Amino acid sequence: MFILVNLKAYPCDPVAVARAARDVADAHGVRIAVAPQAADLARVEATGVETWAQHVSPVEHGSHTGSTLAEAVEANGAEGTLINHSERRVTLAAVDDALAAARRTDLETIVCANDPEQAGAAAALSPDAVAVEPPALIGGDVSVATADPEIVEGAVAAVNAVDPDVELFCGAGVSTGDDVEAARDLGATGVLLASGVAKAADPRSALEDLVSGI
Ligand SMILES: O=C(CO)COP(=O)(O)O
């Protein structure tokens, strides 16, 4: 199972979380990545943790003030990027262009989707993975795998029907090892989470708990 910790714009210490994630990943042989704010990519990458961008703009080099260029996030240590997160939604054309931007580099890609229908549509654009995250459950205490297992199973089926090479991850409310295990049992090969680590009093213990389910 791949565990991606999205720090969003939470007021946590990205370097402290990154060090904890690196240590837990190394100690347990689990793939854990951290997605900080774009401005924090380089110092998070310097910890040695696998580092991801939260977003890349659907543009090339040029007159695009305020953009997050794929080349720039890669140059600052990102190995992959989220696209179309529920809190950073873009049009279908922009998903396609952001994937093209990522493909100009070596960035891995996860396209987020709200439900199985969107997951199938996202899979048609051939990202490395699709992550299904029901918006109503994001930031809550109950994990998607517990609150709405049909959404995960439906997304697994929808993505497999379109392109079995695209992986299916899930997220929203994931915070414990039991949640990770439940996601895996439903067919997900990774989880996205944020508040369970970024808002935890002790992010290292939260990460230790998460990997206990693998
Ligand atoms: O949006 C998410 C990860 O990208 C999920 O957020 P929570 O883990 O806080 O529900």
**What separation in Å is there between the alpha carbon of 85 and the centre of ligand 1?**
10
H-only helix segments in the chain: 14-28, 41-45, 70-75, 92-104, 116-123, 144-147, 149-162, 177-185, 195-198, 203-211
The answer, yes or no, to whether any atom of ligand 1 lies below 6 A from the CB of 127, is no
Mean pLDDT of 103-131: 98
pLDDT at 120 over 90: yes
ipTM of the predicted assembly exceeds 0.95: yes
Distance CA 38, CA 211 (A): 26
| Residues 41, 77 contacting (CB under 8 angstroms) | yes
The answer, yes or no, to whether any atom of ligand 1 lies below 6 A from the CB of 110, is no
The answer, yes or no, to whether any atom of ligand 1 lies below 6 A from the CB of 195, is yes
Q: What is the pLDDT of residue 65?
A: 97
97 is written with which tokens?
């262009």
The answer, yes or no, to whether any atom of ligand 1 lies below 6 A from the CB of 134, is no
Task: Determine if residue 48 is left, alpha or beta; phi over 0 gives left, psi from -120 to 50 gives alpha, anything else beta.
Answer: left
173 annotated to a ligand binding site: yes
Q: How many domains does the chain have?
A: 1
Structure confidence at residue 214 as a pLDDT band (50, 70, 90): confident
Mean pLDDT of 120-141: 97
63 annotated to a ligand binding site: no
Mean pLDDT of 41-62: 98
Range of the domain at 13: 2-79+86-149+162-211
In a domain, 156, yes or no: no
In a domain, 127, yes or no: yes
Mean pLDDT of 25-43: 97
Q: Which SS3 state, helix, strand or coil, does residue 110 take?
A: strand
Mean pLDDT of 203-207: 97
Q: Is the dihedral of CA 68, 69, 70, 73 positive or negative?
A: negative
Q: What is the mean pLDDT of the chain?
A: 97
In a domain, 197, yes or no: yes
**What separation in Å is there between the alpha carbon of 170 and the centre of ligand 1?**
10
Mean pLDDT of 12-38: 98
Q: What is the pLDDT of residue 1?
A: 97
Residue 166 is part of a domain; what is its CATH number?
Answer: 3.20.20.70
Structure confidence at residue 213 as a pLDDT band (50, 70, 90): confident
pLDDT digits (tens, 9 = 90+) for 79-103: 999 999 999 999 999 999 999 999 9
Q: What are phi and psi of 87, to 5 degrees?
A: -95, 5
Q: What is the pLDDT of residue 11?
A: 97
**What separation in Å is there between the alpha carbon of 164 and the centre of ligand 1?**
25
Q: What is the pLDDT of residue 107?
A: 98
60 is written with which tokens?
């090339």
In a domain, 155, yes or no: no
pLDDT at 209 over 90: yes
In a domain, 98, yes or no: yes
